[in-house]
Amino acid sequence: MQNSNRELLIQRGLELLTERGLAATGLAPLLKDVGIPKGSFYYYFESKDEFGYALLERYADFMNYKLDKYLLDNDYSVLDRIHHFIDSAARGMSKYEFKRGCLVGNLNQEVTLLPTKFKPKIESIFATWEQKISNCLRIGKETGEITTAVNCDDLAQFFWIGWEGAVQRSRLTLSREPLDIFFIFFKTVVQE
Amino acid sequence: MQNSNRELLIQRGLELLTERGLAATGLAPLLKDVGIPKGSFYYYFESKDEFGYALLERYADFMNYKLDKYLLDNDYSVLDRIHHFIDSAARGMSKYEFKRGCLVGNLNQEVTLLPTKFKPKIESIFATWEQKISNCLRIGKETGEITTAVNCDDLAQFFWIGWEGAVQRSRLTLSREPLDIFFIFFKTVVQE
């Protein structure tokens, strides 16, 4: 029961932080939504910031699972794998009318206001994601799908830079078009 | 004197909103910083949201001026012009230790929480910026500097998607590297 309360808080927290980040998320309305008293919240989390940090970790786990699911699927070419990841993210955003974006990107935006431990955590999450894309691109180089002219690590950094920009823009246009435009040009770069 | 108070509020507001957006900016500390009483604030602005809207307009004017300055400078090739804009933005970010980003990107992030009139305003600002990059790229097509294979409007949309992602990431890495990596791959696309 206590664990399920913690999980309720995490789930509602993920919904709110992907939509609005931490600063704009009020603890009181969140607790009201899930029907959990303030005292119970502080039983699970030391502070709102610690709660945000736990959400960041959970979100990173979720994304790592999703990235591995698509990027390690060797039934497909590497560009198809990346496209499947993008398509899955686009369908996920569409399901919530493009209100929810990337929790890591949202907290990146607020990083100057957050406790100092958030910055290395966000950097390490991006480093892990970059590694996953980079490994995928390296396979593509071996199979000849990706030009050998590019540095896979730089290209992976470029991928996540563009991806975060595209997710943010999709939340404005309320459409997947920015994600698709980003992928079209990303493909141009890797196939150059 | 009244006008200079309004201008003081605008200038301090621009500093804070480029760093943290609107939701996380407290009116009370801002007013304390500039030594202006609350009553005077409401003489100039109906609400905090209206203040944010005025800042958005002012920031857009500033960026339009900057973009025209660099992108219309026909002493240089179009890729050099774009590079000069990026370099100027990178130096501006460096000056404030990469704490300040793009006010439009920051408010884009918060768009679901803002009054409805912000969304079309932000969209129209991006449309103007896209037009400026697109016009510049079209000149590059004529001079042969840019491949004729790309659609300038799509490419301009891609530019601002990637740009916002790069600015956000620079605020994390506290370096201009993400801006430079973005430009390296952007060049690859246009010269393909």
Give the model's pLDDT for residue B89.
Answer: 97
What are the residues whose beta carbons fall under 8 Å from the beta carbon of A44, sequence distance 6 or more? Answer: A2, A5, A6, A9, A51
From first to last of its 192 residues, chain B has per-residue pLDDT tens of: 557 999 999 999 999 999 999 998 999 999 999 999 999 999 999 999 999 999 999 999 999 999 999 999 999 999 999 999 999 999 999 999 999 999 999 999 999 999 999 999 999 999 999 999 999 999 999 999 999 888 999 999 999 999 999 999 999 999 999 999 999 999 998 886
Distance CA A154, CA B58 (A): 35
Among A103, A109, A110, A147, most B C-beta atoms within 10 A, so best to mutate, is A109
Q: Over chain A, what is the mean pLDDT?
A: 95
Nearest to A162 among B126, B150, B161 (CB): B161
For residue B79, give Cα distances in angstroms to A189, A192, B108, B119.
17, 18, 27, 31
Say yes or no to pLDDT of A11 above 70: yes
Cα(A68)–Cα(A48) distance, rounded to whole angstroms?
30
Share above pLDDT 90 across residues of chain B, in percent, rounded to a whole number: 93
What pLDDT is recorded for position B2?
Answer: 57
Which residues in chain A touch residue B23, judged by CB atoms under 8 angstroms apart? 20-21, 23-24
Which residues contact residue A28 at a Cβ distance below 8 angstroms, ignoring those fewer than 6 apart?
A38
**Beta strands per DSSP E along A92-176:** none
Position A7 pLDDT exceeds 70:
yes
| Structure tokens, B81 | 């012009």
- State pLDDT tens for residues A53-110: 999 999 999 999 999 999 999 999 999 999 999 999 999 999 999 999 999 999 999 9
Task: Give the Cα separation of B94 and A156 in Å (integer).
Answer: 24
> What is the structure's pLDDT at A1?
52
Output the pLDDT for position A191. Answer: 84
Q: What is the chain B residue with the closest CA to A173?
A: B123
Residues 6+ apart with CB under 8 A from B55: B10, B13, B14, B17, B103
| Confidence check: pLDDT of A41 > 80 | yes
Residue of B23, B161, B169 lying closest to A178 (CB–CB): B161
- Contact A169/B188, CB-based, under 8 Å? no
User: Which burial class, exposed, middle or buried, applies to B61 when counting CB atoms under 10 A from its CB (0-12, 13-18, 19+)?
Assistant: exposed
Closest residue in chain B to residue A188, using alpha carbons only: B189
Whether the pLDDT of residue A20 is over 70: the answer is yes
* pLDDT of A192 higher than 80: no
